[in-house]
Structure 1
Amino acid sequence: MSGHSKWANIKHKKGKADAQKGKMFTKLGRELVVASRACGGDVNNFRLKIAIENAKAQNVPNENIQRAIQKGSGGADGAAYEELRYEGYGPGGVAIMLDILTDNRNRTAGEVRHIFSKNGGNMGETGCVSWMFQDKGQLTIPREELKLTEDDLMLIALEAGADDLETDPEEFLIYTSPEAMEGVRQALQDQKIPVSESVLNPIPQNTIEITDSDQARKIVHLMETLEDHDDIQGVYANFELSDSLAAEF
């Protein structure tokens, strides 16, 4: 999953810029609304709890968080968002999956299809690439905030049920099964280990290595364009950038 880690680091840096533009706040707010609606505003619900923690990690104001929870638990107030998953291919046959939250599926489908075709890809049928991915819990730990050694972190994570640990110049990524995610997150919290993000993501089981610079730029531009779309909550792909290309981006 090393290629996924490199792309995650690129997205992490890009996410800081998104937060400044307000895009991150918008997407986190939507997730809060949908999670709250699904559980009736129960803050002990796992999905809502994770949504709240992720919003706080991105410095979303508490009043915004509470407003989104109330909006979701209120039922009829506000837009009725629908959760969808789109699939497709990028340049070079890269497999791409998208998590969608939309109040107009026809509009969103048309816009996403246009983004794919304009950037050398194509939107596919349901199931065309999902078999290449496996849902995993992903916990992000900022390297600069960790007071323990990497070996200690790995030991705590594995003993709590984690599957894997990846390192990056800026952060650690801990992967778990969906069922073990909450237990691992709680074990890290008990040890006062800071978790900046907790998400359940589809992770590619195998990756395509990209070594050509032009092709890499086309793929990354497609990924960024998809992520910039207001209705797209998550973008996942099975490409791996070479070390030199990862450094470029």
Structure 2
Amino acid sequence: MSGHSKWSTIKRKKGANDAKRGKIFTKLIKEITIAAKMGGGDPDGNPRLRSAITTAKSENMPKDNIDRAIKKGTGDLDGAVYEEILYEGYGPAGVAVLVETMTDNKNRTVADIRHYFAKSNGNLGESGCVAWMFDQRGVITVDAEGVDEDELMELAIEAGAEDVVEEEGSFRILTAPEDFNDVVEALEKAEVKMEEASISMVPQNTVEVTEEKPAKNLLNLLDNLEDHDDVQKVHANFDIPDEIIEALS
């Protein structure tokens, strides 16, 4: 498993406090809103919206919040106008970083992101500088507790998944983007609880970070980015040894 996936799993297992949960809801509402704006308010005909709703439900977001976000996207309710912007750069140790943002003020957003990179001994790059190192994949996370690996593997593969791997108490299911919705539907029908389901950017290769100081700087960069209100997702191609991850967590 890549270091970013490992780090995210550790943080998820620790749980989120109320302030963090509020930020998670804010990001999910933005994603639902723009998904509905781009593809309509019917999740059956809008895979991106369906994915956002699945993730929102896994975070126990109230149905009223989800419905309001959809209505804002379709124009039935007034709301802020968001713009999607992808930023790319290099973190400590030459790690490639992709930052997906959704903002109503791109000048504010880029200034903050550039500051985070510089503060962590990284640098914000030009468009296209690292995106080629990642492939788009459907990524579905299932809590491993009470789940039979063989049964989950059979169900997911039959529905079109490419792979199922166990990592840090969870199963991670990978799909091609075009098969993502079919796999999610199969899991829903089988009443398999998904912790997260989204189209993500998966690194083709990873950069091993074996020294504690650059590892700490890198993880601080990722934490700062993920904590920013305008940042939806962060992807990075690093791998950090378990002992360093655990020491820093």
What corresponds to 1:41 in structure 2? 41
Aligned to 1:141: 142
For residues 65-120 of structure 1, the C-alpha deviation after alignment (integer angstroms, 9 at most, x for no partner) is 11111111117822110111100010111100011101111221111111111111
1:28-78 alpha-carbon deviations (Å, 9 max, x no partner): 111111111112322322111111121111011111111111111117822
Q: 1:134-213 to 2 correspondence within 5 Å?
A: 134-146=135-147, 149-213=148-212
Name the residue aligned to 1:88.
89
What corresponds to 1:226 in structure 2? 225
Superposition pairs of residues 17-166 of structure 1, within 5 angstroms? 17=17, 20-44=20-44, 45-74=46-75, 77-146=78-147, 149-166=148-165
CA distance in 2, matches of 1:96, 1:79: 27
Q: Is the 8 A contact 1:19 1:25 kept in 2?
A: no
1:88·1:96 contact (CA, 8 Å) conserved in 2?
yes
SS at match of 2:43: coil
- Which stretch has the larger CA shift, 170-179 or 151-160? 151-160
Cα displacement string for residues 169-199 of structure 1 (whole angstroms, at most 9, x for unaligned residues): 3211101110111111122222222212111
Tell me the SS of whatever aligns to 1:9: helix
Distance across 2 between alignment mates of 1:130 and 1:18: 33
CA contact (8 A) 1:18 1:24 kept: no
* Deviation by residue 1:129-177 (Cα, 9 ceiling, x = unmatched): 001000010001011252xx21221222222221122212321110111
- Displacement of 1:11 in angstroms is 4.2
Q: Please, what TM-score do these two structures have when normalized by structure 1? A: 0.93
Q: Secondary structure at the match of 1:134?
A: strand
- 1:3 alignment counterpart: 3
Unmatched 5+ stretches in structure 1: none
- Greater shift, 151-160 or 197-206, is seen at 151-160
Distance 1:160 1:60 in 2: 27
Q: 1:20 to 1:208 in 2, by over 3 A?
A: closer
Hey, what's the Cα distance between the residues in 2 that align with 1:115 and 1:128? Answer: 18
Structure 1 residues 154-163 or 226-235, which shifts more?
154-163
Q: Is the 8 A contact 2:10 2:168 kept in 1?
A: no
Deviates more, 1:115-124 or 1:19-28: 19-28
How big is the alpha-carbon RMSD for the aligned residues of Structure 1 and Structure 2?
1.8
- Does 1:12 pair with 2:12? yes
Q: TM-score, normalised by structure 2?
A: 0.93
SS at match of 1:144: coil
Secondary structure of the equivalent of 1:37? Answer: helix
Does structure 2 retain, via aligned residues, the 8 Å contact 1:94–1:208? yes
Aligned residue pair count: 247
Cα distance in 2 for residues equivalent to 1:158 and 1:164: 7
Does the CA contact (< 8 Å) of 2:6 and 2:168 recur in 1?
no
Could you tell me which amino acid in structure 2 is paired with residue 133 of structure 1? Answer: F
Residues 5 and 173, structure 1, Cα contact 8 Å, conserved in 2: no
Distance 1:155 1:127 in 2: 37
